Amino acid sequence: MTSDESNSISGEEKKAAPDHQPARTAPLTAPKAGGYKDLLVWRKGIELVKEIYRMTKSFPADERFGLVSQMRRAAVSIPSNIAEGQARKTTGEFVQFLSQAEGSLAELDTQIVLAVELGYSNNAQVASAAELVSELKRMLNALRRTLLKAVMSDK
């Protein structure tokens, strides 16, 4: 398990299990630990939502129901899907919701590009959000891969 994978799961360093014994929870059960609020990837998603709200505050008023609304909805969808997936009964369901979060993240990434190209923000203004988007992409992908390995090893 890479440090990205272990950090994505709980926000703490975990030791990797030996190669012949994959680390996992009960068969086909999503990791519950202390809940989604303990997931570093969820907390990073919350940071991104706050960053997007700050960034879109300065957009033109005529974009309030356009790009501002779309960006905020996509951003909110990311930690929301992580939370909902973690609360589900199976790892397969969790993986499905992580994939939805990844889709919302790609949508938001595109909208950030549009915000710059339309002149509502500049590269310096979106730098923090863009860094969080990149970090979340890596973390969601790593968590999804880890969970899929657990599902495959249970079969």
pLDDT for the residue numbered 154 = 75
Quick: pLDDT tens for 71-128. Answer: 999 999 999 999 999 999 899 999 999 999 999 999 999 999 999 999 999 999 999 9
CATH code: domain of residue 60? 1.20.1440.60
Contact 83, 36 (CB under 8 A): yes
What residue numbers bound the domain in which 62 lies? Answer: 3-154
- Give the number of other Cβ atoms within 10 Å of residue 65's Cβ: 9
Quick: pLDDT tens for 17-69. Answer: 333 333 333 334 444 556 899 999 999 999 999 999 999 999 999 999 999 99
Name the more confident of 9 and 40.
40
Task: Report how many domains make up the chain.
Answer: 1
Look up residue 125 and give its amino acid: Q
